[in-house]
Structure 1
């Protein structure tokens, strides 16, 4: 029972820190996406710019959260995180591209309506991927820190 409580507590701590890192990265990404798309960039370009602006601080903050595996593990962590992050960005690019097609039909002469629909698709993609990414990052990216033997306490 104590082990189950400890595991549950660990996941709540990780989830809260992951959420905080995601809020920071999302804030940066959303600002870059809205600004670039509002100024006329395509949805795909805006998505890539937004992804780049949020992925780096997100990786750094998540590595601190999970503890990372030191210098030796950094390359593998970056590659695994990058694969997950690029996959998410590709899904967002696809969603925003399709949303723009819909938005131009729904709001042919209203740029604000188009921006709202495309931005909604961008936000929705990242909202769904939040849960998926948490488990992928925990199980695949920073896996070494999960298997570390807990230090013993002195009496």
Structure 2
């Protein structure tokens, strides 16, 4: 019995392979866009849970009982209030979204390499923007 040749994946079908790759990339980007709020809320819930555990660990052992009683009383009141559980859930999700948001610091200025490149560009352009006879030049070598 003769051997059958292996299928050629990268043969004449490179355009369909590239199209499939683009389709997968687009689908991944769309999924990230759709799931981003859930990721933010999940990150916020994790941060809130860690803060609660840290606060509970920092609470002295003799005050944990009254704190637990107060928490249980609050849960009971929320459960008995009309729309209380829904409002509590909305409040928890809002707090989680607030805590889970991405708070990367805004870049305030150019980096050191960018500053050097801007300085070199400035020095290169000074002869074109300055006039030698000007007593108070706007552009001069050295800034």
TM-score, normalised to structure 2, is 0.27
Higher helix content, 1 or 2: 1
